Amino acid sequence: MRVLHVVAADRWTGAAAAALQLAEAQREAGLEVTFCCRGGDTLAARLVGRDWARPVLAKERRPGELAASVAAVRSVAGGCDVVHAHLPHDHLLARLALRALPGPALVRSVRRDRHLRRDPFQRWLFRRTDGVGVCHVGLEPRARRMVGDRVPVWALPPAVPSGFAPRHGREATRASLGLPAEAIIVGTLGKLDRNRGQDLLLHALAAAPGVWAVIAGGGGHRTALERLAARLGVGDRVVFTGFVGDGLADLLGALDLFVFPAAGSDHGHRALVEAAACGVPALAADLPGVTAVVRPGETGALFPVGDAAALAVLVRSWAADRARRERAANEARRLAAGWTGSALAAAVGELYRLARSPRATV
């Protein structure tokens, strides 16, 4: 089977990371895959050495550039069995390209609830869509309302990135970050933004004496968070790492607890998947899709969205219970062992099969 992935992005973001992970898993499964994206920026660095990645899309600012991107998609879609779009703009490019190329099935991934709004543009996009893969079961009803009974809608399983595991010891990583070897360390990661909930962790830390925190990620909100930490009296127990790339698994492996206070751009909650793979129990906000990767009472616990006091209670109780942390860590590793690229590729393959069947064709 020949598959074209369309990702009109140039940055290494949640959707681009998920799309590239799927493309690599499909190639390992024997599919002929092309990955079509924009050139430049952080995504291009991830694509070095992959001759099947085509940075041929433009960042459209004028109608002519949109037409050029549509033509670029059409030029690589010829002979494909499936064109897989990952974001609304990718969907637009694929939708326009396939008007003159009716052969391939058009499949769409949905990784945010707002991408299923029933406005005229989204309805037009999904009118010519042969299959939809959503990142968690909570999105299935909305996707089905968007496409009706004629189109298959599948909740796709999470998958741990290939080779994602700590390479250095827990003690060595802690030492490199200036963290006490024996302290209880909680951590979170993501863009430093006022909507990403890092402030909740700082407030919880103020109610959990002796617990340290690692806040990983870059962004313009760092100064405000540092000031908040100082005002709460926890500045000497917080380490801001900045953006973490290839060392992310090592950082996660050095934690005792992972805190997930708010959703990022990808509602498949990739950070929770990666934390589980490193055997780190998760204290997560009770957001849609979280229970697909966190089992309350088994691999972690949930707290109400935005409730710093509830998070503080969890941090204190889990920090004081080593046996519970160890049980949850072992169960998280066991679950994550089943979240493989091959399982994801197989699930998407079944979606493709249904999308190419006559009943899914408009």
CATH number at residue 78: 3.40.50.2000
Q: Containing domain of residue 242, as a range? A: 170-336
Residue 133 shares a structural domain with residue 177: no
The reported pLDDT for the residue numbered 361 is 42
pLDDT digits (tens, 9 = 90+) for 324-344: 999 999 999 999 999 999 999
pLDDT digits (tens, 9 = 90+) for 48-88: 889 999 888 888 877 788 999 999 999 999 899 999 999 99
Q: How many Å apart are CA 308 and CA 63, to the nearest integer? A: 47
Tell me the average pLDDT across 179-199.
95
Tell me the average pLDDT across 313-331.
98
Residue 204 shares a structural domain with residue 298: yes
Of the two residues 131 and 264, the one the predictor is more confident about is: 131
Burial group, residue 126, by CB count within 10 angstroms (0-12, 13-18, 19+): buried
Residue 60 shares a structural domain with residue 176: no
Of the two residues 247 and 360, the one the predictor is more confident about is: 247
Residue 134 shares a structural domain with residue 265: no
Residue 164 belongs to a domain? no
Residue 142 belongs to a domain? yes
Residue 265 shares a structural domain with residue 153: no
Task: Decide if pLDDT at 155 tops 50.
Answer: yes
Tell me the average pLDDT across 249-254.
97
**Who contacts 119 (Cβ-Cβ below 8 Å, separation ≥6)?**
none
Residue 150 shares a structural domain with residue 285: no
Q: In what order do the strands lie in the sheet with 212-216?
A: 238-242, 212-216, 185-189, 257-260, 282-285, 300-303
Task: Decide if pLDDT at 196 tops 90.
Answer: yes
Q: How many Å apart are CA 253 and CA 244, to the nearest integer? A: 13
Lowest-confidence range among 50-64, 139-153, 228-242? 50-64
DSSP strand E in the chain: where? 2-7, 32-38, 53-57, 82-85, 105-110, 131-134, 153-155, 185-189, 212-216, 238-242, 257-260, 282-285, 300-303
pLDDT digits (tens, 9 = 90+) for 12-59: 777 888 999 999 999 999 999 999 988 777 787 788 889 999 888 888
Residue 308 belongs to a domain? yes
The reported pLDDT for the residue numbered 362 is 38
Residue 165 belongs to a domain? no
CB 7 within 8 A of CB 46: no
Residue 49 shares a structural domain with residue 65: yes
Residue 153 shares a structural domain with residue 293: no
Round the average pLDDT of the chain to a whole number and report it: 93
Task: Decide if pLDDT at 240 tops 80.
Answer: yes
Find the helix or strand (DSSP H, E) in which 304 lies: none
Q: Which residue do the tokens 């992935």 mark? A: 5
Q: How many Å apart are CA 22 and CA 24, to the nearest integer? A: 5
The reported pLDDT for the residue numbered 317 is 97
Domain count, the chain: 2
The reported pLDDT for the residue numbered 100 is 80
Q: How many Å apart are CA 220 and CA 192, to the nearest integer? A: 6
pLDDT digits (tens, 9 = 90+) for 90-99: 999 999 999 9
Residue 121 shares a structural domain with residue 257: no
Task: Decide if pLDDT at 257 tops 90.
Answer: yes
Q: How many Å apart are CA 126 and CA 147, to the nearest integer? A: 6
User: In the chain, pLDDT over 90 holds for what percent of residues?
Assistant: 82
Residue 202 shares a structural domain with residue 91: no
Residue 15 shares a structural domain with residue 135: yes
Residue 122 shares a structural domain with residue 221: no
